[in-house]
Amino acid sequence: MLSPEQQNELKQILMDEKKDLEHRLKENDDFDIENALNQESIGELSNYDNHPADHGSELFEREKDIALLEHEEEHLQDILRALKAMEEGTYGVCEICNQPIPEERLQALPTATRCIEHTPNHFVSENRPVEEDILRPGFGKFEYDEQDATLYDAEDAWQEVARYGTSETPSDFWEQEKNHYNEMFVESDEPIGLTEAVEGFLLADIEGNFIGIAANDLHEIYERKLDEAGIMSTVGGLGAPTWDYDDE
């Protein structure tokens, strides 16, 4: 249990925090929440001539002030609760297990009402806002490279659009070897609109029947891969191994 000297020291800390907190709230008019409307806090006579973005900025500042005020008021209530517990003789005892709270913990957090084993903040949640599943990466969760899939996914759709230009610059891009605006999108070295290598050079008629091979760079890369693997090329690529453009 706390000695009388330790409790008096902690009480003085709480009293000083209470005095400082009340003074700050009074000096800043409760984070200017005393003013009912935005124009009162920013000195505007009217909102009609302001740009909507300016209104958005002021709304954000008002929301921030409300959050700060709620935080400070909650802290003040914690201090008052701790001072009342001192008067009732229950200060420094965990409200869950009724065991003494270590003096070191009370020095660090004088308003503590629980020991470290029973604190509600003992568990740090790994949950993230659901929006992050969509917003990160830029094309969201709808890409299937890691699943060895060959379908046309959101990453391919992003590549189709990004090749016409993005807000990135060579100095901003995370891959420092990028030095051209035409490379300023994810995996820009991949052929656009293809899911397998053979699609880049196999030709088909309107009914989908094989009619030949286009002599292009993709076909040369494909043939070189076959030579390196020691496999003879067959018409249409039958029996040939699959490969990823990232390997090239």
Residue 79's CATH number: 1.20.120.910
pLDDT bin (cut points 50, 70, 90) of residue 79 is very high
Whether residue 123 lies inside any domain: the answer is no
Give the span between the Cα atoms of 93 and 143, in whole angstroms. 53
Residues 162 and 239 in one domain: no
Residue 166 has pLDDT above 90, yes or no: no
Residues 168 and 237 in one domain: no
pTM beyond cutoff 0.85: no
Q: Which of 116-120, 145-149, 236-240 has the lowest mean pLDDT?
A: 236-240
Tokens in use for 74? 């909650």
SS3 210: strand
Residues 160 and 172 in one domain: yes
Whether residue 65 lies inside any domain: the answer is yes
Whether residue 128 lies inside any domain: the answer is no
Domains held by the chain: number: 3
Q: What is the dihedral of CA 39, 45, 49, 54, to 10 degrees?
A: -20
Beta bridge mates, 213: 202
- Helix (H) / strand (E) element for 204: namely strand 202-204
Segment 178-196 mean pLDDT: 67
Whether residue 126 lies inside any domain: the answer is no
Tokens in use for 38? 């935005």
Beta bridge mates, 212: 203
Residues 191 and 204 in one domain: no
At residue 100, what is the residue type? P
Look at residue 231 in the predicted model and tell me its pLDDT: 65
Residues 179 and 202 in one domain: no
Question: Looking up tokens 């899911």, which residue turns up?
Answer: 195
Question: Looking up tokens 């005020």, which residue turns up?
Answer: 69
Look at residue 224 in the predicted model and tell me its pLDDT: 81
Tokens in use for 210? 């094989």
Residues 145 and 87 in one domain: no
Residues 179 and 244 in one domain: no
- For residue 31, how many other CB atoms are within 10 A of its CB? 20
Residues 19 and 94 in one domain: yes
Look at residue 245 in the predicted model and tell me its pLDDT: 43
Whether residue 23 lies inside any domain: the answer is yes
Domain range enclosing 103: 4-118
Whether residue 125 lies inside any domain: the answer is no
Residue 152 has pLDDT above 80, yes or no: no
Whether residue 177 lies inside any domain: the answer is yes
- Among residues 195, 211, 228, the one where a domain terminates is 195
**DSSP letter assigned to residue 59:** H
Give the span between the Cα atoms of 171 and 226, in whole angstroms. 37
Whether residue 209 lies inside any domain: the answer is yes
